[in-house]
Chains A and B, each alone.
Chain A
Amino acid sequence: MQVLERTTTSAPEGRAADVAPLIVARGLTKAYDTRATVLQGIDLEIQEGERVALIGANGSGKSTLLKSLIGLHSISDGTLSCFGHPVGPEAGRAQRLRMRRQTGFVFQKHCLVRRRSVLSNVIHGLFGEPGSWRAFSHSLAPLEWRNRAMQALADVDLEHKALHRADALSGGQQQRVAIARAIVRRPRLLIADEPAASLDPLSGHNVMELFTHLCRTQGITLIYTSHDMAHAMDYADRIVALKRGKVFFDRPVTKVAPADLKDTFDD
């Protein structure tokens, strides 16, 4: 498996201890209305290069937290910064876009444009770059973008499917295309919302292995949610458990006991 080498960010092993966290949340609260508070006073720090698994029962606020991190959901209270810049209402639209352009986001449902080719979908990951209207289709994209997209497809072992329609691929393959779209921009932060939920065990394992590989070789910070405790324990450095919108525990994987996991999902 070939991998794009990052040039600007060092791998986690080389990180200095006093480097500012990539993400800082203080008292983060998200309420859809006065009765539905999804997140309550979340305090969280994530260092560059870390792999963090977010776990919790359905409705515990995992997806909302992920989307809040890059401003897809506005926060109701508290402060949140990403890449050293505020994400909350005080951040302008331009700043939010700049921040998102350093981020790759993999959704549970792949979220590909079904009618377009696999290659075009991967090139869509470059929307936001100068002249990005050319990311509309691989036919219009500059050669350098096409090469980067092919390299990202090679990273997920799908270069041979480049010209297939996205909806002609299996669920596992579509998820790998979504990952290729997320990494084609060489992001500093990769967020994945239940990336293996719709996949069979082997495909799920392969996707998580791929994430681990990318993080190790490119120094990407990974935050993912999972209902599969094996995925949380095997592929993360740290587990953050959410329960009813609050942080239930936040500790390194090595210090998480089976009882902690059980308590997270108990009523």
Chain B
Amino acid sequence: MIDRRVQAPDRFRRFSTLNFVLIVALAAILLTSMEQVAPSPKQLADGLPGMANLVGRMLPPNTEPDFLARIAVRMVETFQIALVGAAIGIALSLPIAWCAARGVSPLGRGNVLVKAAISFLRTVPDLVWALIFVASIGLGAVAGTMTIMVDTIGFCGRFFAEAMEDAEKEPQEALAAIGANRPSILIGAILPDIMPSLINSSLFALEKAVRSSVVLGLVGAGGIGQELKVAFDLFQYRNASMIILAIFVIVLLMEVCTDKLRARLQ
């Protein structure tokens, strides 16, 4: 055994001057922003009576059978928008993600263009997409479904592509070595390897689609959001509170179902 003294390394890496300057700058931006846009204690105190008044006018929620039947129909429509939009979006995301994935894409370096397109779909908020589709297709559920579809492609396209890039390389090389072409490598080695990740992302996309679809109605793209907007516009706060409760229940149910599915699949 070699007899020489060794020292333990420093517990923390030393701060470079650049890192220190960056942290100070970030803190300055945060504090300045807080001063300009964060609520002050006075504003919060002044707003409380108004909030209490609104909550009081919302209670008790409207439970008239006719109204409940109407929002049940709207909830079903909301769920349909989410389900169909997410399903089509997930299906389209697979080939798009394949084209976008680095080292896997049949387009070679052209994958960056597809990646940029996916980023664009993701960057534009869903309400903006809804406005675009309402303006082009017209009011109603179809515009909502298109919005969810595009939003899902932006979400799943990115995660599917990342999963494909991270897929195990050895089985891909093994299939390439015996003459498999790119589509064969995709279906034979990549998809089976990333299937749990695909299912996970798809379930998150479905959850997200349900949450998004409830607000699309605010801009006329169908679903329960339309009822919510009408309720607030006409100061029917008891109706609004019932709709908010219904939205809470369906989103919660969706989360419980997808959580259980995820746990089962893993």
Question: Does B178 lie within 8 Å of A125, measured CB to CB?
Answer: yes
Q: How large is the interface on B (under 10, 10 to 19, 20 to 34, 35 or more residues)?
A: 20 to 34
Candidates B181, B183, B189; contact of A97 at CB < 8 Å: B181
Residue of B nearest to A96 (CB): B179
Q: Are B174 and A101 in contact (CB-based, < 8 A)?
A: no
Cβ of B64 within 8 Å of any chain A Cβ, yes or no, is no
Interface centre among A109, A110, A124, by most B CB within 10 Å?
A124
- Contact B174–A107 (Cβ < 8 Å): yes
**Given the contacts A105-B174, A107-B174, A128 and B193 also touching, CB distance less than 8 Å:** no
Determine whether B192 belongs to the interface, using a CB cutoff of 8 Å to chain A: yes
Neighbouring A residues of B110 by C-beta, 8 Å: none
B-contact 0/1 string along A106-137, CB 8 Å cutoff = 01011111111000000011011000110110
The verdict on B173 contacting chain A, using a C-beta distance below 8 Å, is yes
Which chain B positions have C-beta within 8 A of A187? 178
Q: Which of B168, B170, B176, B188 contacts A135 (CB 8 A)?
A: B188
Q: Least Cβ distance of A189 to chain B in Å?
A: 11
A105–B178 CA distance with the chains assembled, in angstroms: 7
Across the interface, name the chain B residue whose C-beta is closest to A128: B179
Residue of B181, B185, B188, B195 with most chain A CB atoms under a 10 A cut-off: B188
What is the bound-complex CA distance between A124 and B175, given in angstroms?
7
Which chain B residues border A124 with CB–CB below 8 Å? 175, 180, 188-189
Q: Would A127 and B171 be within 8 Å (CB), given that A70-B177, A114-B193, A185-B178 are in contact?
A: no
Q: How far is the CB of B106 from chain A (nearest CB, A)?
A: 11
B126-184 CB contacts (< 8 Å) to partner A: 168, 170-171, 173-181, 183-184
Smallest beta-carbon distance A86→chain B, Å: 16
Asked if A178 is at the interface of the complex by the 8 Å CB criterion, the answer is yes
Q: Quick one: which of A245-259 are within 8 Å of B by CB?
A: none
Complex interface: chain A residues within 8 A of B173 (CB): 72, 107, 111
- Does any Cβ of B come within 8 Å of A242's Cβ? no
- Chain B, Cβ-Cβ closest to A99: B179
A135 adjacent to B177 (CB under 8 Å): no
Tell whether, in the assembled complex, residue A104 and residue B178 are in contact, meaning their CB atoms are under 8 Å apart: yes
CA–CA, A110 and B168, complex, Å: 12
Contact A111 B176 (CB under 8 A): no
Which residue in A97, A110, A181, A191 is a CB contact (below 8 Å) of B179? A97
Complex: chain B residue closest to A66, CB-CB: B177
Across the interface, B178 reaches (CB within 8 A) one of A110, A112, A114, A128, namely A128
Query: Which chain B positions have C-beta within 8 A of A115?
Result: 192-193, 195
**Distance in angstroms between the alpha carbons of A101 and B185 in the assembled complex:** 14
In the complex, B52 has a CB within 8 A of chain A:
no
The yes or no answer to A222 lying at the interface (CB within 8 A) is: no
- Kindly provide the distance from the CB of A34 to the nearest chain B CB, expressed in whole angstroms: 23
A243 on interface, CB distance cutoff 8 Å: no
Instruction: State A98–B177 Cα separation when bound (angstroms).
Output: 11
How far apart are the CA atoms of A99 and B192 in the complex, in Å?
26
Shortest Cβ gap from A62 to chain B (Å): 16
Residue B37 CB within 8 A of the other chain: no
B178 to A178, Cβ gap below 8 A?
Answer: no
Looking at B175, B178, B185, which has the most chain A CB atoms within 10 Å of its CB? B178
Complex contact B179–A111 (CB within 8 A) = no
Q: Is the CB of B195 within 8 A of A127?
A: no
CB distance from A201 to the nearest CB of B (A): 24
Q: Does A100 contact B (CB under 8 A)?
A: yes
Interface residue? B187 (CB, 8 A)? yes
A180: chain B residues at CB < 8 Å are: none
Contacting pair A113 B180 (CB below 8 A): no
Chain B nearest CB, measured from A109 CB (Å): 6
Take A124-B188, A135-B188, A136-B187 as given contacts and tell me if A112 and B180 are in contact as well, using a CB distance cutoff of 8 Å. Answer: no
- Chain B residues contacting A125 (CB-CB under 8 Å) are 178
Min Cβ gap B244→A in Å is 42
Residue of B168, B178, B193 touching A100 (CB-CB under 8 A): B178
Q: With A97-B181, A100-B176, A127-B180 given, can you name 14 additional A-B contacts, CB distance below 8 Å?
A: A103-B179, A105-B177, A107-B174, A110-B170, A112-B174, A113-B189, A124-B180, A124-B188, A124-B189, A127-B179, A127-B181, A133-B184, A136-B188, A185-B178
* Chain A contacts to B: CB under 8 angstroms: 67, 70, 72, 97-101, 103-105, 107, 109-116, 124-125, 127-128, 132-133, 135-136, 178, 181-182, 185, 187, 191
Cβ contacts A to B, 6 pairs, < 8 Å: A103-B178, A111-B174, A115-B193, A127-B184, A128-B181, A182-B178
